[in-house]
Structure 1
Amino acid sequence: MPSTGIATIRGYDTCLQTTKVRRRLGICPRENILFKDLTVSENIYFYCKLNGIQKKQVEAAVNGYINLLNLKEEKNLAAKKLNLGQQKKLCVLIAFFGKSKIVILDGPTYQMDTASRKSIWRLILQQKEERTIFLFTHCIFEAFQLGDRIAIFNDGSLKCMGSPLFLKKKLGAGYRLVIVKNKECDVDKITKMLKKHIPSIETLENTENELTYIIMENQQFKFEKMLGDFEQNLQALGVSNYQIKLTSIEEIYERYILFNYLKAYLNLCFNFRVENDEARSDMGKEVRVHARYIHHRVKKETILVRNHIQAMFMKKYYYTFNSWWTLMQLVIPLLFLGLTAGILLNLNQELPPKPLKLYNSTQTLVHLDPENKDNKYADLLLKQIQEEGGNVLYTNNMTEFFIEMLSDDRDNSQYQYIMGIDFVKGENNAGQQDIIDMIMYFNTNLYHSLGIAASFLFLAIYQVVGKCPECDLRFTNHPLPFDTKSRMYELSTSSFGFSMALFVGMGFTFSTTIFIVFIIEERISSFKIYQKIAGVKMWIFWMVTFIFDFCTFVFISIVYILCLRFFQYTGFTTYAELGRLLALLAAFAYSGLPTLYWFGFLFKNATGGFVKVSVFSVVVCIGIIIFNQMLMTFNMLEPLQVMRGVFVILPHYALGEGVLNLWLLYFNNKMCQLQAEDRYQHYTNKFCEDGGTWNFAIMRPGVGLNIIVCMVTGTILLGALIIYDSDIFLFRLGVSGLGPVRPPREDVDVMKEKRKVRYGDIMDLKFHHSMVVKDLTKYGRKNRLVVNGLCLTAVQGECIGIVGCPGSGKTTSIRMMTGDLKMTHGEVWIFGRNLKKNLKKFRKTVGVCPQYSPLLGNLRVIYTIKILGLIRGVRLRDCEKLIYKLTDDFDLGNKLRKRYFFIMEYVLKSWGLEDLIPVFNGLDPPSKRFIWNAIAEMRSKGRLIIIASNSMEECQLLCTRIAVMVNGNFKCLGTKERLMEKFVDGYTVNLRTTGSSIQAEKFVRAQFPGAKCFERRGEWLLFYIAKTNLPCSELFGIMERAKQNKSLNIKDYTLGHTSLEQVSVLKTFSFLFDNNTHLGQNLPSVRYRAVR
């Protein structure tokens, strides 16, 4: 609900007329809305019915939508088996079902690769007719591709709005002239010559190999002369090649947002004013990764271990006390304690006094002598019976009625008929005739019957004789207290011990299972992987986790035991009894916690894992204890001992059975005490003969076996967990004979790199290269080849980009290079250290930033900075300064901007790394630019960086070499200039027409034979012009003269060299590089499925 203001859809208020609004509204949230276990056709059928499509039309609609999505083969496939692009495409299509005239799409292409994003764009454009679509996206390029009008928001307010062309003009879109330099290049001479034609031209970037200028779009008419002059003097200027391309709209948007943000920030904090345009050109370069964040890094191993221990304890402490799960851990055992309280109160308390009266509807027999109808006693007595809810039956003969009643229904009559009253005329010894004899009958089967009958009789007499009709007389039954014999009989026949075992087991089962939530969340968030690769030893990781969880459990157990002591539970009152219970609970935690840690590896969802493990534990606890009780009831001792010996290794059974044994210990001790006092001589038991020293015995009812087995099991499980997670046997067990497979066709540069690695001197390679990867291979399930024989060498100061569609093998390769995933075949060396032989030292030189943020959701920003700083070796006393510095620099104070915290986390990861870093996806342009600049500076300082990305644009900007990966193979490898030379020959022309586009299209095809029209959208046409002999200057001249020709209806145009990013948008890399073709040739349509 909005705080202020209103919104209407087709005239209906979204707050007051929600039902009518939703009938006309379609929405695609950022999250996946498919039912994962339903098939594609079932999902479509469900949403068709949900959107009101008639029954007769549903089947046709399902088939139509399946054909539209090109999912005929996947029609009966579960939705979870579709790739990310297909799932999201289906979610977008669902928003258009039924009568949805207003459609809202929230990030429909979020975190998707270029090819999948393009397919969703086509789907949106197909369904756009007669609908109003609101597209919310962080990708400004996507907005410009799909939107008729674009609104830019920042900090919750609308900054600007208009058509794409209007915003391009408004925000200052232009061209980039990228010049490839050779050794004789004279930058000043080039700049002077270019400024002669366009004085406003500005130098954007000057690197070792490239020189980049930015030119405003309104200078387009001067390009022919300027480029013609430039092309004639290439050799004299020391230029080997050049390209002209459009400035990315994302860069324009980013500069605009960052400029306004910086200006507001400086005005607010320092009273600075940013007025000139120079700030815009430098924007995005101001962010640097400085060494000032690190004051004193720990180098000594012992101090670093202490740092890691501190970080692990802080992590557990902050997470635990910022989570509502902690409260549940304390409440659940006490809740089950309350359930046992009811049983105990009924067991311990004496029977309460009860008034003798008619509680339910009972039958009272009355016999009145006809001669005594006016009887005051009878009137008062019968009135009292009726007021208490009793029924009065009249009879002429009391004895005959009772005999007949007992013969007809003996059982019911014994409980319904409590008493009877006989009023007859009598006389005394003096011969008086007005005497009334009142005879009361009571039921001998009901003990309270006599008291009730007497109370009514005496009350009537008292009221008549005392002449007090308002007086009342009540009898109350006060039971005698139980004697010792009765109490012990009650204890021996009660189920309190079983109930206590059941409820204690269930309560602490739920309480301990909550610990698994943190274990699963830490693993699935990749925070654990980060800690492992950052150098945290697994014995520190697991021992600190275990000690903290064990102490937490002991605290909860002590609170529970204090409650037992307060309520004086039978069998759990003395310090000795409570001490034995605490020892049993501690042993249970010692075994149960490592068991839960092992269970944590089985689940990918924290809540689901908690529920499943809880159900399993409760079933084990309750089921086996109930079966155990049944065997005890039938005195089947041998099967009971066998079952105990087998199941005692399960901590939940050991706890429940141990609590039951503690109750039996109390019972036997009590019996032995009575025997010693000569008050219960007939009770004999071996337990008493041994002096009652069975408390920690191995045999029942001792709890020694339970405690010992729990301690042994816990030690084994914890030790095995540390060994398993330390990756000691990661590259020593399960060696496969499978190796790389030679692809049918390989790129020349890829083959050259393979020959260099395979046949070169490995010692020489390790000496001259920071990283060497040889035949890196991974086989998945059923021997499915995921990564195939990758070979790569890299030196310090290099940034290598691996580009590919989802499922191409990028992430798997990175995980194998960092030692996170076992390789099937191959070798990796970094700084001469072999990954397989020296994993610990190898990881000290490697840092990894996973694709998704490895952060724990419950940790606040300042806590996370402190933990990450300690892990990376910053002293604890310097962490406070670090927190204040980073929160100020990244604006993480009050607003807690997630995107800048994300960047700050990246900076923390980068300390001291010689590293391998997969790039981030799904960020807004300013955050993306921030990271790009940070990576560029690290590269300039001599660090080796590897980026795995779906975006060629990122790799073009950052990387010195780029590898394109398809189906686990490198399809090409080289510098961006090399890739441009091999795969990109031609230009892209974007025309905007004012009327009919037919003449403009004919003109382009006539002037540039072989030109392909790849996209039509409204008044926009996108052409690709294959390799032509015409220089770029002549192309601009042709298009400029065409613009002046009114008959062609060309209002505006843009022209530039085709970029690798445009290649990835127009055709998927898989087909492009598998066929080794140039863009613009006659490419048939293909279906492509990546190897996962």
Structure 2
Amino acid sequence: MNIYEGQITVLLGHNGAGKTTTLSILTGLYPPTSGTACIYGHDIRNDIEGIHENLGFCSQHDVLYDTLTVEEHLYLSAHLRGCDNSTIEQQVERTLRKIYLHDKKNEYTKTLSGGMKRRLSIGMALIGDSKVLILDEPTSGLDPEARRQVWDILQSERQEKTILVTTHYMDEADHLGDRIAIMSGGELKCCGSPLFLKAKYGAGYLLSIVKQSSCSSEYVLKQVKRHIPNAFTRSDYGEEIRILLPLESIDKFGNLFEDLESNKISLGISSFGVSVTTMEEVFFQVSKQTNTISCRNRETRESRRKAIEQSRFTSETKVDHKQLRNQGFLFYRQQFCALMIKRYIFTKRNLIFVFSQIIVPIAFTLIALFIFHHLLNKNNSPDPRLDLSLKPYGKDLLITFSNEAEGWEKRQNTDQFIQSYMRQFDNKQVTPIEFNTSTGSYEDHLLKQIAIPHLFYFRLKSIIGLVVDTKSTPKDKIVSLRAYFQGESFHAAPISLNAVVNGFLQYLTSVNQTICPGLTTNNSPPQIYVSNQPLPETKEERAKQIDEIEGLMRVVVAGFPLASNILFAASYLASCFGFFPVYETVTKAKHLQFVSGVKLALYWISIYMWDMCIFFLSVGSILLCFMAFNLEQFALGERFHNLVILFGLFMWAVLPQTYLLSRLFRSPTSGLVWITAINVFTASIGLIMVGLLSHPMIHQQAVGVCLMYFWIAISPSFCLSHGIFQLFINYQFRQVCDSPLVQLLCLVDQVNACCLKTCDPFCAYWTSNELSYELGGVGAHLTALLIHGFLYSSFVIISDSSIGRNLKICLIILYRRFRYRHHNSELLLLNQYHDDLSFDDSNLPAEDVDVRQHRHLVESLPYARLREQTSLALCRVSKTYGSVNPRCKQGRKPAVDRLSLAIPPSECFGLLGVNGAGKTTTFRMITGDLEPSSGHIIVVGHDLNRNLRKAQQSLGYCPQFDALLPYLTGHETLQLFARLRGVHEGLLNTEIDQLLNDLNLTSLAHVLVSRYSGGNRRKLSVAIALVGETPLICLDEPTTGVDPISRRHIWDLLLKYRRQGRTLVLSSHSMEECEALCSRVSIIVNGRMKCLGTCQHLKARFGHGYSLNVQVMIPMVNHHLSSLNTEPTVSSTSSSCVPSVVISPHVPHQLSLINAVDNVDSFIKREFPDARLVDRHQGVLQYHLPTDGRNQVRLSHIFNLMETNKTRLGLLNYSISQTTLEQIFIDLIKLQEPVNQ
């Protein structure tokens, strides 16, 4: 196909048709497998760089930097494109004005709305004067007003550029496209102008008639068939009937409309209008002809067809919803099983996370026990034996000696002894120094030569010394030996004495070998070894040490690391159980389950029971670690039983506390981290404060005891960690204090820490019964944990119940009443109903007459009748976000403002409005996700203020953003919600299979939801809303991001359910969707209804005339017909359905075309003086014909006039349609105030 300069070419196709792949090839992201494409003479196969110089691309998702401003983004894009520095500033300014963001140029992109971000992405593609623009779904997810702004930008650029756009919005393709190409299965199926495609594939015109109470639909259809026999009824709901008029009978439309205009009163018609075939219908017909529907599962089509034929749910008759559901005990059992199966699947598919809940606590526990075991052995084991020698004192030691013996023989013997003495020392370690006593005594020499000059060296290196003397002995045969030692060195005395004894032993063995024959060896001389080992302490000695700080700290230091590490293990384990509730809350899956009828108690019981099982595994592993270390303080007998009780009650208390804390967080990961931090911080602060205040030096043990009780009352984690610490301390104190001698001392009133009556300032509290409430026992800890469990469980249930909702409202009322007494008129009223109130309408803004009449009807109906006659009723419902301070005007801006609405059964009601108008807030209030600030809501006879859960059981809900569980498959998801709604097990799979088939999800039934595309996730959300046969279905933008074929399937499915008697309430950005589905619509602006009625009624009341589209036939000569054959890549299917004037508009007779167009333009302006030319391009003229000008234009006159002059004017195609609902929407939403993004 060719894409022409000066045109916008729109590429359409279902999901997987090949649109994105085509764009990826054109932009160079993927290379083509075969074939090629040329962009301004540059081949994508070998000159992609040349293409990029002239190519602007806007991806489907915004690629923006949050911390860059709008202007900085454009400067960045301009520099990347290589724009001339001298012109960049001008280009940026010009682009800012093109995309209507000049006043936002200094704003960070993270502050922009979705529409602004899309305009910025388009601006980044525009800057640099790119010749080619490729835009992938540029308006995806935008409201109609924001889409119009994007359309204006593209149309302003159309004349100078070649633009290729993909979209899922058929009205966008119709509005923008000069040519529309439809793809399927990677092939081009057809290509042409919108008028040509509508003429070839369209079903014709849709005649919409608003009926009065006296109107008969059968009689109206009979009158229409008098003129057009092939006409048939498309739909007939409520006040509106829609009749399809075949296009081939267009020449008879004038007479038909003339007949209807002249007989409106007799036929009972309020108004009527026509709309031409939409591009949605064209797309569907093309896809139907090319067999694109259900092409993914051809092999299972027959089996699915048989299943659907056998299904009882295919009936379009009204059904009794209660008969399809379980009731009573069976219903509750089914819900409980569904919730447990959900948790089982989550556990099975997240084994790493579950293993971390077991392994991490075990790791912390093992670390704690290793440290504890080491410190305990160090404190309780006897001191080790110390071998006494000079080796620990290092090298370069001095050994001083002197020999004072007299006489030759004596001198010879003593010298031999000294040699034996010195032989026992290592020469590398010891340096011997001999003093000559003839000039002074040994002491004098020691002081003068060593001690005084080198005192520091003397104290460290002179450890022992020796003096041999015979003068002091009275008998000649006795030698005196004096062993000297350094008094400041530990163990120097026994080392010196042992050295003398060893020297003497070696002297004796060397003199006479027969003295000690068994001690002498050839390798080493005999030696005596000396060691020092203290005796073990007695209980009495340890009792005295408790009064000493050092002894007390040895006991405490051993227990504190154990308590701290167990605290870390327990805190992490507890926080893991907050991950799942936070995840379900953030994704809105929890709310969707409540909307599906889950009982509040069953929901939390199922979570609690499953978490308790995982907790038992983890705690059991921790207890096994205690048993493996065989610690007598914990793992033996009664003490182990007490430890098990402590952990068991901790489980009971900490799980509901974690569930309650999980409500504070909006991310599962942050919840896990912060809940761990909260538990660790609170308990650690308590342990430290209680421990410090109990220190003997501080003398504040009584204050520490009071703080202990305070922390016990508020923190389950403190109860566990301090309880373990208390069990250890009690055991240690009991071992010391529970002895007869200590008790005897206490009887005589001795002041001792073990004597609890006389201890001062520190008491070693202990008890023989560890479960007692005395200081030293853990009875208070266990009782507190038991109470914590009941309290936190109650808070969890209350916070999700209507009691919690009403309590919250009451607190707001009290806050306002006592702080802002002069603003009493603005206080909220709780449980006040409209039949008890006297409404004051004086402060209401101006209302449309239809809205005012409906509001008066709703507010005047008795409460009982509202419950009986409506599926959904809202009476003066308001919702205000922000500050509760009445003086804060900005904070009190209402998102929904006194909305009154009643929807009877079997109706499809549409809520329209821009982003921020209040649609989603209304849905959230209807489903119980938000509490109204005032007013009340009735859902299928149940008031939300009084009976929220029963009301939620009666409705199905598709939220704006998918509330899906990614770890489930599509089939498992529908099984979950079908069971929650009580569908009989025998009918469960049949209904699920039917829904999957109706929504083309059969091939994805057993694929994880996390792998679904956006469109398929949306279809699954719709299926959740439909499963279970609920009487009321609320759908918030159900088809956003869904391709046209799937969207049509959803429409057909919703219409079928409506025919079964179910009530539908939907919001949408697609006006075409509302016209196809809704019997009534309302456009909401600033939280209030601006209009109300059927689509045709709104067109008749707020429309401003008709839209006339004309395509002028281009003059041709014969040789131009060959242009069709010059298209190298057009398939035979495409060439057969597309005329050459559409595929190849480059004809030489431009003057003839201009003359033909001018001739048509003159004719239109002559016949319709008030006509306004909206667009003129490539032989296509678009006019707006107002009906409130000088000449009243009748529909019959327009058709008769155009059909009579069609041939004379040379018209190829023309279409006439009433003002569209979207045009009315655009006009009304101009009053919408900006929303803070």
Settle same-fold status: TM greater than 0.5: yes
Is this contact kept in 1: 2:115–2:147, CA < 8 A? yes
Residue 931 (structure 2) aligns with = 822
**1:228 and 1:617 mapped to 2: Cα distance?**
79
Contact 2:388 2:532 in 1 (8 A): no
- Of 944, 948, 962, the match for 1:853: 962
Letter aligned with residue 641 of structure 1: V
Aligned equivalents of 1:553 and 1:856: distance in 2? 23
Distance 1:544 1:205, change over 3 A: same
Equivalence map 1:323-402=2 (5 Å): 323=350, 324-344=352-372, 346-347=374-375, 348=377
Q: Within the alignment, does 1:917 sit opposite 2:1034 as a pair?
A: yes
Contact residue 818 and residue 916 of structure 1 kept, 8 A: no
Please identify, of 621-630 and 349-358, the stretch whose mean Cα deviation from structure 2 is larger: 349-358
Q: 1:447 & 1:149 partners in 2: Cα distance?
A: 105
Report the CA distance between 1:618 and its aligned residue. Answer: 3.0
Query: Is 1:670 aligned to 2:748, yes or no?
Result: no
Q: Does 1:868 align with 2:977?
A: yes
Relative to structure 1, the CA distance from residue 584 to residue 9 in structure 2 (aligned partners, 3 Å threshold; closer, same or farther) is: farther
Counterpart of 1:370 in structure 2 is: none
User: What displacement does 1:886 show?
Assistant: 5.7
- The reply to whether residue 205 of structure 1 matches residue 234 of structure 2 is yes
Residues 198 and 282 in structure 2, CA contact (< 8 A), matched pair in contact too = no
Taking the aligned partners of 1:780 and 1:605, their CA distance within structure 2 comes to 22
Two-structure CA RMSD over aligned residues (Å): 5.9
1:720 is matched with which residue: 792, 795, 812? 795
Given candidates 295, 309, 312, the residue that maps to 2:339 is 312
Query: Percentage identity across aligned positions?
Result: 22
Mark the structure with the bigger radius of gyration.
2
Mapped partners of 1:332, 1:529: distance in 2: 32
- 2:292 maps to 1:264: no
In the other structure, the counterpart of 1:614 is 676
Residues of 2 paired with 1:1090 and 1:617: CA distance? Answer: 40
Q: Which residue of 2 aligns with 1:1044?
A: 1210
Alpha-carbon contact 2:850-2:1091 (below 8 Å) kept: yes
- Alignment partner of 1:647 is 2:711: yes
Matched, 1:1060 2:1220: yes
Secondary structure in structure 2 of the residue aligned to 1:561? helix
Show the counterpart of 2:204. 176
Alpha-carbon contact 2:596-2:956 (below 8 Å) kept: yes
SS in 1 for 2:591: helix
CA offsets 1:766-823 (integer angstroms, 9 cap, x no match): 6555544332233333432232232323322221111111211122223334444333
**Structure 2: 5+ residue stretches without partners:** 1-17, 33-44, 210-214, 306-312, 400-423, 436-444, 467-482, 507-522, 546-550, 757-762, 814-826, 830-838, 883-890, 1115-1144
In structure 2, the partner of 1:604 is 666
Question: Is 1:1033 the counterpart of 2:1199 in the alignment?
Answer: yes
The answer to whether the 8 A contact 2:1108-2:1216 is kept is yes
Q: Which residue of 2 aligns with 1:371?
A: none
Match of 2:1071 in 1: 952
Superimposed CA distance per residue, residues 613-668 of structure 1 (whole angstroms, 9 cap, x where no aligned partner): 33333332334433433334444313322322322212233333223223312322
Aligned residue for 2:144?
A: 114
Q: Work out whether residues 661 and 700 of structure 1, in 8 Å CA contact, stay in contact via their aligned partners in 2.
A: no
Could you say if the C-alpha distance between residues 832 and 337 of structure 1 is closer, same or farther in structure 2, counting changes exceeding 3 Å? closer
Give SS of 2:1075's match: helix
Q: Matches of 1:662 and 1:46 in 2, distance apart?
A: 67
Task: Please name the residue that 1:430 is paired with.
Answer: none
Distance 1:628 1:43, change over 3 A: farther
Counterpart secondary structure, 2:578: helix
State how far apart, in whole Å, the 2-side matches of 1:622 and 1:92 are. 55
* Residues 811-838 of structure 1, C-alpha deviations (whole Å, 9 max, x = no match): 2223334444333333444555544444
Q: Choose the corresponding residue for 2:328, options 294, 301, 307.
A: 301
Between 931-940 and 104-113, the greater mean CA deviation after superposition: 104-113
Residue 588, structure 1, aligned to residue 754, structure 2: no
Separation of aligned partners in 2, 1:779 and 1:673: 68
TM-superposed CA distance for 1:498, in Å, is 1.4
For residues 727-760 of structure 1, what are the alpha-carbon distances to aligned partners after superposition, in whole Å with 9 as ceiling and x for unaligned? 1364585363588864442212112212323345
Query: Does the 8 Å contact 2:326/2:983 carry over to 1?
Result: no
Match of 1:227 among 247, 250, 253: 253
Per-residue CA deviations over 1:216-249 (Å, capped at 9, x if unaligned) read 6xx6xx84x3334444554799796765534333
Q: CA deviation at 1:883?
A: 5.7
Distance 1:596 1:21 in 2: 60
Deviation string for 1:549-568 (max 9, x for gaps)?
23322321111211232244
Letter in 2 for 1:713: H
Say whether the 8 Å CA contact 2:389–2:495 is kept in structure 1. Answer: no
CA contact (8 A) 2:178 2:193 kept: no
Q: How does 1:552-591 map to 2 (within 5 A)?
A: 552-568=614-630, 571-591=633-653
More displaced stretch, 577-586 vs 963-972: 577-586
- Secondary structure at the aligned position of 2:349 is classed as coil
Q: Retained in 1: the 8 A contact 2:343–2:610?
A: yes
Provide, for residues 601-624 of structure 1, a one-character-per-residue CA deviation record: whole Å limited to 9, x for no partner: 323333333333333333323344
Contact residue 73 and residue 124 of structure 2 kept, 8 A: no
- Give SS of 2:935's match: strand
CA distance in 2, matches of 1:478, 1:1014: 112
Query: What TM-score comes out, normalization by structure 2 length?
Result: 0.67
Note closer, same or farther for the CA distance 1:506–1:401 as it changes in structure 2 (3 Å cut): farther
What amino acid sits opposite 2:1217 in the alignment? H
Note if 1:757 corresponds to 2:853: no
Structure 2 counterpart of 1:811 = 920
Deviation at 1:718, TM superposition (A): 1.5
- Mark the CA change 1:404 to 1:866 in structure 2 (over 3 Å): closer, same or farther: farther
C-alpha contact 1:6 1:14 (8 A) present in aligned 2:
no
In 2, the alpha carbon distance for the partners of 1:132 and 1:440 equals 109
How many Å apart are 1:845 and its aligned residue? 3.4
Judge conservation of contact 2:653–2:785 (CA < 8 Å) in 1.
yes
**What does 1:465-864 align with in structure 2 at a 5 Å threshold?**
483=536, 492=554, 495-568=557-630, 571-633=633-695, 634-635=697-698, 636-648=700-712, 649-672=714-737, 685-686=754-755, 692-728=767-803, 730=805, 733-734=809-810, 736-737=827-828, 742-759=843-860, 768-781=869-882, 782-830=891-939, 833-864=942-973
Distance 1:516 1:104, change over 3 A: farther
Q: Figure out how many residues of one structure are paired with residues of the other and give that number.
A: 997
CA gap of 1:906–1:366, structure 2 versus 1, over 3 A, is: same
What is the alpha-carbon distance in structure 1 between the residues aligned to residue 528 and residue 130 of structure 2? 78
Q: Could you tell me whether the CA contact under 8 Å between 1:364 and 1:419 is conserved in 2?
A: no
Given the superposition, is the C-alpha separation of residues 852 and 133 from structure 1 closer, same or farther in structure 2, using an over 3 Å criterion? same
| Distance of aligned partners of 1:621 and 1:404 in 2 relative to their CA distance in 1, 3 Å threshold | farther
User: 2:407 maps to which residue?
Assistant: none
Instruction: Please give the secondary structure, in 1, of the residue aligned with 2:905.
Output: coil
Q: Which residue of 2 aligns with 1:963?
A: 1082
Once residues 20 and 250 of structure 1 are traced to their aligned partners in structure 2, the CA distance between those partners, rounded to angstroms, is 38
Name the TM-score, length of structure 1 as normaliser.
Answer: 0.75
Question: Match for 2:234: what amino acid?
Answer: E
Q: Secondary structure at the match of 2:1109?
A: strand
Q: What is the deviation of 1:987? A: 0.8
- Aligned partners of 2:489 and 2:1177: how far apart in 1? 97
**What CA deviation, in whole Å up to 9, does each residue of 1:506-550 have, x standing for no partner?**
222122112222112222322222332333222222233223323
The residue type paired with residue 756 of structure 1 is L
SS at match of 1:332: helix
Hey, what's the Cα distance between the residues in 2 that align with 1:570 and 1:764?
A: 74
Mapped to 1, the partners of 2:527 and 2:1208 lie a distance apart of 117
The change in CA–CA distance for 1:880 and 1:250 in structure 2 (over 3 A counts) is closer
**1:965: how far off?**
0.9
Cα distance change of structure 1 residues 384 and 940 upon mapping to structure 2, 3 Å threshold: farther
Matched, 1:1070 2:1139: no
Check 1:756–1:264 CA distance in 2 against 1; reply closer, same or farther (3 A cut). Answer: closer
Structure-1 residue corresponding to 2:887 = none
